[in-house]
Amino acid sequence: MARRRRGKSINGWLAVDKPLEITSSTVVNQVRRLLDAAKAGHGGTLDPLASGVLPIAFGEATKTVAYVMDGSKSYRVTLKFGEARSTDDAEGDVIETSDHRPSADEIKAVLNEFTGEIQQVPPKFSAIKV
């Protein structure tokens, strides 16, 4: 016999604006406790250094996470030219610097290389499980 979950039976989705420096799991746990929801899960991990929309499913909606997250996504990023870091993110130590800043034309010339399916190696420190 399955054990009964504590909390209210809430079904549906909630889009949360995840702040920087907090994990996706922490956000889900905080929202689940706040709503006293019996069951909750998120639709994709954002690294602690990333902010943005974190879809949270409740109750029966957790069964649809794989289908909902199968759609296309878009990202907005901010980057800093001229630094290489030990962890490939803003938290790492600066290991190399450069004064070169690519021009708009140089950037446009390589953008097509980042369209479509791309084989990419994840950073050394990432929330992705390989």
Residues 36-66 have pLDDT tens digits of: 999 999 987 888 888 889 999 999 999 999 8
> What are the catalytic residues?
47
Domain positions in the chain: 12-68, 83-114
Give pLDDT tens digits for 59-102: 999 999 988 888 887 878 888 899 999 988 888 899 999 999 99
Nearby residues of 1 by Cβ (< 8 Å), 6 or more positions away: none
For 7-46, what is each residue's pLDDT tens digit?
A: 899 999 999 999 998 999 999 999 999 999 999 999 878 8
Q: Which of 100, 46, 50, 97 is nearest to 78 (CA)?
A: 50
pLDDT of residue 37: 96
**Residue 130 CB partners (closer than 8 Å, separation 6+):** 122
